[in-house]
Amino acid sequence: MRLHRNITPEKRAWSVAEKAAEEAAKDTVRRNGNWDSFWDTYGEVFNETYYGALRELQEQELAGRLLLLAKTTRRSRR
């Protein structure tokens, strides 16, 4: 179940992770004033967010496919 035919779960998860990582890294720099921590925070938050969002989006896509299959199977039995 894609939002748009060109938007895959991977692309959507990447977009969500980029935004979350950038905000978290900027907040870290604001708090401690140290730009050295920007990329550490960015990488950590990006990885956590990307893989979490990807897993969730893939589960939603699979659930949508299973629902469609169930509807199709139910119709063919009639």
Q: Residues 15-25: pLDDT tens digits?
A: 999 999 999 99
φ/ψ of residue 16, rounded to 5: -65, -45
Task: Tell whether 13 is covered by a domain.
Answer: yes
Question: Structurally, how many domains does the chain consist of?
Answer: 1
pTM of the model as a whole: 0.68
Tokens coding 53: 């969002």
pLDDT, residue 1, reads: 47
- Percentage of residues in the chain with pLDDT exceeding 90? 55
Instruction: Specify if 2 maps to a domain.
Output: no
What range defines the domain where residue 72 resides? Answer: 9-77
Residue 36 is assigned to a structural domain of this protein: yes
- In sequence order, what are the residues at sequence separation of 6 or more whose Cβ sits closer than 8 angstroms to the Cβ of residue 22? 42
Over 60: is that where the pLDDT of 68 sits? yes
